[in-house]
Amino acid sequence: MKSFFQALDHILDKTVLFGYDRVGYYLRRPLWEESETDVSLKGKIALVTGANSGLGRATAEALALRGARVYLLCRNRERGDAARTQIVQATGNEDVHLELADLASQKQIRAFAEDFQKREPRLDILVNNAGILPDERSLTEDGIESTFAVNTLAYFLLTNLLSPALEVADGARVINVSSGGQYLADLDVNDLQFAQGQFDGTKAYAATKRAELLLTLIWSDWYRERGVLVFGMHPGWADTPAVQTSLPTFRAIMQLTLRTPAEGADTIVWLCANPKLGAAESGGFFFDRRARPIIRVEKTRNSPEEVASLWRQCAELTNYEGPIKPDAEAFERAASRE
């Protein structure tokens, strides 16, 4: 019977349409071992960005339910307070805390990271989930295109600044929430801020999600000997506030079969909690609790030089000087893992 569902999973993976919605989720569930997520996270410290709604909210609640101390990193105090109250009521875990920072602002990211590490010298779980999909091109206060600033640079800067807290934890995990849309993304490292041609919000979003995965590969290489696991994942098609506001036509067509936020967040929670995951899985791109290919369209593959350019530009745009400093061989290894 298991071989049947494995074959079905393979077919669903190829079709996309029925693989990414609720149909795929429920058809794959027979393959899952609940013991991999039915674990205690008591004593673990977790930080979830974009945690006031959608996937982030569902992830934070699942981690709190398992006993973790959970920090919700949100932009809006009112929505963040409401999410915290709801999570505490749903889980009975009072150890849930709201942190405020606009991830479009490098100043606020730096201030948060510095303050957080004064209070919490250790971080066991970092879920980089926050993201935006604007219709029009705009610039942040730092003069950077907003989609790239929030979906890529914020991940880069926050993760790197929190590196000391991650490295002192025992087996810390970083989960970068990407998108299945990255499969069709052509990441142009010569135009990371989408200044050339007409701006397309959906394409820009997909490109930034692809950039996240390249960073995931670089980080997994860097941290391999430092005890930190780094994963990429995509949630499938989930009915989140972002989809409701940014993709209303898609939602109207797919509404009856979209995953709930909790279903979309299932693999995030699995990556946070599964004790069986180790260095061999670090750098993987996961969907529905299984590693998936990063590349499906060969022309979207990036060269080592392009991977290096992405890292270099992220470092320059954030004025990041280390201590994480991948070398040419690291970029070569990252590109070879796609």
165 and 16 within one domain: no
* pLDDT band (50, 70, 90) for residue 256: confident
7 and 109 within one domain: no
C-alpha Rg value of the chain to the nearest Å = 19
Check whether 16 has a pLDDT greater than 70.
no
Whole-number pLDDT of residue 184: 87
Q: What is the three-class DSSP state of 126?
A: strand
9 and 121 within one domain: no
Percent share of the chain, pLDDT over 90: 81
194 and 127 within one domain: yes
Instruction: Determine the average pLDDT of the residues in 151-159.
Output: 98
* pLDDT band (50, 70, 90) for residue 297: confident
Check whether 246 has a pLDDT greater than 70.
no
Check whether 98 has a pLDDT greater than 90.
yes
192 and 48 within one domain: yes
Parent domain of 12: 1-31
Rounded to two decimals, what is the model's pTM? 0.94
Whole-number pLDDT of residue 4: 74
Check whether 132 has a pLDDT greater than 90.
yes
180 and 241 within one domain: yes
CA distance 53 to 265: 12
Instruction: Please identify every residue annotated as catalytic.
Output: 205
98 and 4 within one domain: no
Check whether 9 has a pLDDT greater than 90.
no
pLDDT tens digits along 174-208: 999 999 889 889 899 999 999 999 999 999 999 99
Whole-number pLDDT of residue 5: 63
Q: Taking the mean position of all CA atoms in its chain, how far away is CA 27?
A: 24
* pLDDT band (50, 70, 90) for residue 141: very high
249 and 104 within one domain: yes
Instruction: Determine the average pLDDT of the residues in 136-151.
Output: 98
CA distance 29 to 85: 30
Q: Please give the residue that has the higher pLDDT: either 13 or 62.
A: 62
Instruction: Determine the average pLDDT of the residues in 315-325.
Output: 95
Whole-number pLDDT of residue 107: 98
Check whether 247 has a pLDDT greater than 80.
no
Give me the CATH number covering residue 84. 3.40.50.720
Whole-number pLDDT of residue 180: 87
CA distance 182 to 175: 16
Instruction: Determine the average pLDDT of the residues in 271-285.
Output: 97
Q: Are 132 and 146 in contact (CB under 8 A)?
A: yes
308 and 201 within one domain: yes
72 and 178 within one domain: yes
* pLDDT band (50, 70, 90) for residue 103: very high
Check whether 111 has a pLDDT greater than 90.
yes
Mean pLDDT taken over the chain: 93
Q: How many structural domains does the chain have?
A: 2
Whole-number pLDDT of residue 17: 62
215 and 67 within one domain: yes
Check whether 244 has a pLDDT greater than 80.
no
pLDDT tens digits along 33-64: 999 999 999 999 999 999 999 999 999 999 99
324 and 264 within one domain: yes
Percent share of the chain, pLDDT over 70: 94
**Beta strands across the sheet bearing 173-177:** 96-100, 69-74, 45-49, 125-128, 173-177, 229-233, 285-287, 290-292
